[in-house]
A and B are shown apart, each in its own frame.
Chain A
Amino acid sequence: MNTLNFIIGASLQPGDFTGFTFFIGSVSMLAATVFFLVQHGQVDKKFKDSMLVAALITGIAAVHYYYMRDQWAEGLGSPTELRYVDWILTVPLMVVEFALLTGVGMAKLFWLSVVMLVTGYFGESGVTGMLDAQSWGAISGIAYFIMAYEVGCLRVFSDGAPSGAVGDALANAKGKIPSAGRMLQWFVLVGWAIYPLGYMMGTDGWYSGAVAALGWNMDIVYNIGDAINKIGFGMAVWSAARD
């Protein structure tokens, strides 16, 4: 094993559960990438791009989780910057999956995800010197909710609930796309909610005290949430694509 240590910079300490979730995150994303790439050759032509994007999402995450595990193991603390890098690259790709399945709404979803990411970053970093974290967070949250509406997240509660064009297209699509769409809507509504929650709890001056009071480790929440969201997203697309 020691001969492989030139690849892995630092080793996890025994009992380091947080570090272990970084490791699990990395290998599960890598395994999912291999799976999606293998399935890419098996699915119908119209789903090939979707499978490729699913593989890319988990592939990019695998690279970053490898880095994050390393940073954590070296005792450099929570890898917030690497998380942001991962999200900046993968969130637009996850949004693209909706456009690939339905053929509509790409421009609108791209714009909304730009607003969500940029204002979220402004709030967390304080780089602009304008507005406080709460205000930037509110703008980012609004973009997220509009996006959730656009993809038809309200439809998970009732089929007659209002929805944007993407949600309508998902519901009216042929084959297994509507059921896959329903899974994706759950991911956006519930799975993606960990990000604004983490933002609120991790930003000083907001609910950062709540994390300490609850005794939560946000890294574990993010690691598990990220793995479920990214791999689950791809699995939902795969379920629509397979015969």
Chain B
Amino acid sequence: MILSKNYIISSKLIGLIFALCLIFFKVEDSYSSIIFVLVMLTIGIPHGSVDHIIAFINPASRRFKSKLSFFTVYLSLIILNIIIWIFSPYLGLFTFLLVSCYHFGEAQVIGFNNTKNKLLNFVLGANILLSLFLNNIFELQIILIDLTLFSSIDLSTFDKTFFLLVSVAVLMISVVHFKIEKKVPLYAEMSILYLIFYHTDILTSFSIYFGFSHSLPMLLLEYKEMKEKNFFSFYVKTLPFTTLAIIFGIILYYFNNDLLTANNLILFTFIVISSLTLPHVFIMKDFVENK
């Protein structure tokens, strides 16, 4: 049996090699959308596509009496998130950031510490997102052009290095005071992430982080936990809900009638991701406990 730690390290090494290849071979930013779509379809969405099985694996943390109650709660949270985005994009974004900070941090801490310290989970996730956004802040302003409060801020006097410096400084100051079993390796890994965030555009940065540092390790942990014969048979089990998620995104896009966003595909994609993320976070919280 391969250890969980090996799964996590292997996934992250694959991501690092992929990122270094992108940097060294100078892959144009125009390919970032393809990289994003490929990573999301093959790793990102599948890692949340077995939530309906994962939720029932661990009897100690079982929250749902039946599949019906599970799907009712799960779909309600997705619909609730879309309603929030329709009525208040700011609140939608805020909810997504809040939930993502916790979820990303919780997954990031695995292998370095246990996941019991909720504040640490949140702070780590917040650092990752802060760095992702700060290192690509000029692009982010274009993507979030609808949020005028943010997109109208004049940042022309600052250069990219300043934002890298801020994100590294915040990381050092916030991480150093926490009690973490393997603090230095954790800090070192986050430094590599920051390097990638600085040198690649926002979509590629997000794809590499989300795909290889978050989703792939979780996907492999799920495979281990589900005790499938081989990875292929496990992966096949992710396909039905991956397909459903894609169909959900397409239907939402064609019937949104500009309720969510007009002509901003990237923002729309993030709204779909945030909707899928919200219920997934609660399932994963129980799954990763004590890992």
Chain A residues near B (Cβ < 8 Å): 6-7, 9, 49, 52-53, 56, 60, 63, 66, 81, 84-85, 88-89, 92-93, 96, 99-100, 106-107, 110-111, 113-114, 117-118, 121, 125, 127
**A102 CB → nearest B CB, Å:** 12
Please name 16 further chain A to chain B contacts, defined as beta carbons within 8 Å, in addition to the given A85-B164, A111-B176, A125-B162, sorted by A numbering.
A7-B24, A53-B184, A56-B192, A63-B20, A63-B23, A84-B165, A89-B168, A89-B194, A96-B184, A96-B188, A110-B173, A111-B173, A117-B168, A121-B161, A127-B158, A127-B159
A212 to chain B, nearest CB (A): 25
B184 contact set on A, CB distance < 8 A:
49, 53, 96, 99-100
Could you mark each residue 162-205 of chain B with 1 if its beta carbon is under 8 Å from any beta carbon of chain A, else 0? Answer: 10110011001100110000111101100110110011000000
Q: Are B172 and A7 in contact (CB under 8 A)?
A: no
CA of A9 to CA of B24, assembled, Å: 10
The answer to whether A53 touches B177, judged by C-beta atoms less than 8 angstroms apart, is no
12 A/B residue pairs, CB under 8 Å, sorted by A = A53-B184, A63-B23, A63-B195, A63-B199, A85-B161, A89-B164, A89-B168, A99-B184, A100-B184, A107-B177, A118-B165, A127-B157
Cβ contact within 8 Å between A114 and B173? yes
- Cβ of B65 within 8 Å of any chain A Cβ, yes or no, is no
Chain B interface bracket (under 10, 10 to 19, 20 to 34, 35 or more): 20 to 34
Residues of B within 8 A of A107 (CB): 176-177
**Lowest 6 CB-CB distances: which A-B pairs, in order?**
A110-B172, A110-B176, A114-B169, A107-B176, A84-B161, A88-B165
CB distance from A128 to the nearest CB of B (A): 10
Q: Which residues of B contact A53 (CB under 8 A)?
A: 184, 188
Chain A nearest CB from B249 CB (Å) reads: 35
Rounded to whole Å, the gap between the CB of B138 and the closest CB of chain A is 15
Contact between B195 and A92, CB atoms less than 8 A apart: no
Contact of A114 among B159, B172, B183, B195 (CB under 8 A): B172
Q: Are A125 and B159 in contact (CB under 8 A)?
A: yes
Across-interface contacts of B118 in A (CB, < 8 A)? none
Quick check: is B229 within 8 A (CB to CB) of the other chain?
A: no
Give chain A residues whose Cβ lies under 8 Å from the Cβ of B168. Answer: 88-89, 92, 117
Query: Are A117 and B187 neighbours in the complex by a CB distance under 8 Å?
Result: no
Instruction: List residues 72-129 of chain B with CB under 8 A from any CB of chain A.
Output: none
A7–B192 Cα distance when bound, in Å, is 22
Q: Please report the C-alpha to C-alpha distance between residue A111 and residue B160 in the assembled complex, in whole angstroms.
A: 22
B25 an interface residue at 8 Å Cβ cutoff? Answer: yes
C-alpha spacing A176/B164, complex, angstroms: 36
B193 to chain A, nearest CB (A): 11
CA of A6 to CA of B173 in the docked complex: distance in angstroms? 41
Contact of A88 among B25, B161, B187 (CB under 8 A): B161
Q: Whole-angstrom distance between the alpha carbons of A66 and B182 in the complex?
A: 31
Task: Tell me if A's interface is mostly helix, strand, loop or mixed.
Answer: helix
User: Does B227 belong to the interface (CB within 8 Å)?
Assistant: no
Chain A contacts for B185, CB-based, 8 A: 49, 52
Query: Which B residues lie within 8 Å of A121 (CB)?
Result: 161-162, 165
Q: Is the CB of A118 within 8 A of B169?
A: yes
A96 / chain B contacts, CB cutoff of 8 Å? 184, 187-188
Contact for B172 among A52, A63, A92, CB less than 8 A: A92
Chain B residues in 8 Å Cβ range of A92: 168, 172, 187, 191
Given known pairs A7-B25, A9-B26, the reply for A93 and B195 (CB within 8 Å) is no
A46 to chain B, nearest CB (A): 12
Interface centre among A81, A92, A127 (most CB of B within 10 A): A92
- Separation of A100 and B187 alpha carbons in the complex (Å): 12
Name the A residues within 8 Å of B192 (CB-CB): 56, 60
Binary per-residue interface labels of chain B (122-160) against chain A in the complex, 1 for a CB within 8 Å, 0 otherwise: 000000000000000000000000000000000001111
Smallest beta-carbon distance A133→chain B, Å: 16
What CA separation (Å) do A66 and B20 show in the bound complex? 12
Min C-beta distance of B173 to chain A, whole Å:
6
| A91 to B62 alpha-carbon distance, docked (Å) | 46
- Which residues of B lie under 8 Å from residue A99 when comparing CB positions? 184
Select which of B23, B164, B173, B188 is within 8 A of A93 by beta carbon: B188
How far, in angstroms, from A14 to B74 measured CA to CA in the complex?
A: 65
- Shortest distance from the beta carbon of B178 to any chain A beta carbon, whole Å: 10
Bound Cα distance from A121 to B166, whole angstroms:
11
The complex places the Cα of A96 from the Cα of B23 at a distance, in Å, of 26
The answer to whether residues A60 and B195 also contact, given A53-B188, A88-B164, A121-B162 and a CB cut-off of 8 A, is yes
Residue with the highest number of chain A CB atoms closer than 10 Å, among B25, B165, B177: B165
CA distance A96 to B180 in the complex (A): 14
Write out the residue numbers on chain B whose beta carbons fall within 8 Å of the beta carbon of A127: 157-159, 162
A107 to B24, CA, bound (A): 34
- Please, which residues of chain B bring their CB within 8 A of the CB of A113? 172
Instruction: Compute how far the CA of A99 lies from the CA of B175 in the bound complex, rounded to whole angstroms.
Output: 14
The CA of A73 and the CA of B122, in the complex, are separated in Å by 44
CA distance in complex: A7, B168 (Å): 29
**How far is A93 from B195 in the complex, measured between Cα atoms in Å?**
13
